[in-house]
Amino acid sequence: MKAPKEPSELTTNRFSFALPLALSLALMTGGKVSAEEAEAIPLSRDEAVRMKLVFQPARSADLRDGNSIPATVINSPEHSAQAIALYSGTLTRWHRVPGDAVSAGQPIVTLSSPGLMAVEESWLKAHHDLEQARYEFDRDNELFKEGIIARQRLQQTRRRLQQVEFTLASHRQQLTRAGFTDTDLAQLPSGKRQPGEYPIKSPAAGKLSERLFNAGQAVPANTPVATLQADSELWLEAAVPAVLAASLEVGDRLQLTDTDRTAILKYKNAAVNPTTQMVDIMAALEQPQTSLPGQTLMLTLPPLARGVLVPAAAVTHSGNATTIYVRSENGVEARAVALLPMGNHYLATGGIFPGEELVVEGTALLKGIQLGLGGGE
């Protein structure tokens, strides 16, 4: 067995291949390359292997990918929990009376909401669009295998499928926040559910202590409808940078870093601390906890916007510009994209689609090829 190459030897081998390639490409173009042409780096599969390029599919950002902050476990400041209506609507009926014992996730009241109905309609449309997009992709994939259509046509169909999947996932997340289960979502296409009607569920096990609205009353969005005396409830308190807190809303579900546990945002200070530029928040832990008051946990905030997760290793910097390298039909394509910092990664709100393959090892080598073509920065 050959001994592993030293890092310096590997770097030398990579650039000994890259420089002749860059030089030959420059000679083919007369040493002048337009900005549009410079974005494409022609490479065969064998050349990519020789350069030891490593690719990773891009994926949509989700709750696990936001910025992490330290949070302190505390006892519930109210020793109670609140059931919150995320969408405005009319309270149609109560399922429990004050004093009733309820378990976490048990429906206690039902609302009828035109706002939620619009989300349901959007989800149904995206669900139908996904079926059509999958059919078109399967059809074009077979046509491509038979040599009837070009690869470009297949890529367009694949991107359309990815876009529809992204849209459906976004609407699904909104419905999940409103308390929809997989069973509830499965009933939407069949028409078995009353449009716009959704149950508000108990956020914790305990007793229903107060009903804040009566049947028939209008309930504003993000408003508590009931108070529960929790059996045993722990909260988290944390200070969040103002720029990250701007997109947080009461009722948001936050993820505990590197776990499946979650917390519901219960309180957000409307004022920013002028000295620290931080905003105080408090969130109620949802699942049964083994943590103790005073313990520090890491809390992951939701992404600042919808978009695609870009690993830090896939990004090259040149001044204020950020570039990623994406596998293309003829090699690799350099794309200048605007990125938002997000935890240990970045978030792209445009310029890249989920499923496209990013170079995560070998970006420096590709940048060297570009510099060889362009003559430097």
Fold of 116-174: Helix Hairpins (1.10.287)
**Tens of pLDDT along the chain (377 residues)?**
444 444 333 333 333 333 333 333 333 333 333 333 338 889 988 888 999 999 999 998 876 677 788 999 887 776 667 888 888 899 999 999 988 888 888 899 999 888 888 888 888 888 889 899 999 999 999 999 988 989 899 999 999 999 989 888 888 888 887 778 778 787 787 777 778 888 888 887 778 878 999 999 999 988 999 987 665 678 899 999 888 888 888 988 888 888 888 899 999 998 999 999 999 999 998 877 677 778 899 998 877 677 898 999 999 988 888 999 999 988 999 999 988 887 678 888 888 899 999 999 999 889 888 877 443 33
**Can you give the pLDDT at residue 78?**
63
* Residue 86, token pair as written in the block: 């995320």
343: left (phi over 0), alpha (psi -120 to 50) or beta: left
Q: Which residue reads 């979650």 in tokens?
A: 262
Backbone phi and psi for residue 124, each to the nearest 5 degrees, phi listed first: -65, -40
**Can you give the pLDDT at residue 334?**
92
Please answer whether residues 135 and 109 qualify as being in contact, where contact means their C-beta atoms are separated by less than 8 angstroms. Answer: no
C-alpha distances in angstroms, 268 versus 78, 173, 238, 250, 282? 15, 22, 10, 7, 7
Q: What is the pTM of this model?
A: 0.38
**Can you give the pLDDT at residue 376?**
38
**Can you give the pLDDT at residue 80?**
62
- Whether domain 16-61+306-374 has CATH 2.40.420.20: yes
Kindly report the number of other CB atoms within 10 A of residue 150's CB atom.
12
Residue 126 DSSP symbol: H
Q: How far apart are the first and last CA of the chain?
A: 42
d(CA 53, CA 21): 15
d(CA 313, CA 14): 18
**Can you give the pLDDT at residue 11?**
35
Number of H helices, E strands in the chain: 8, 24
Torsion angle, CA of 197/202/207/212, rounded to 10 degrees?
-50
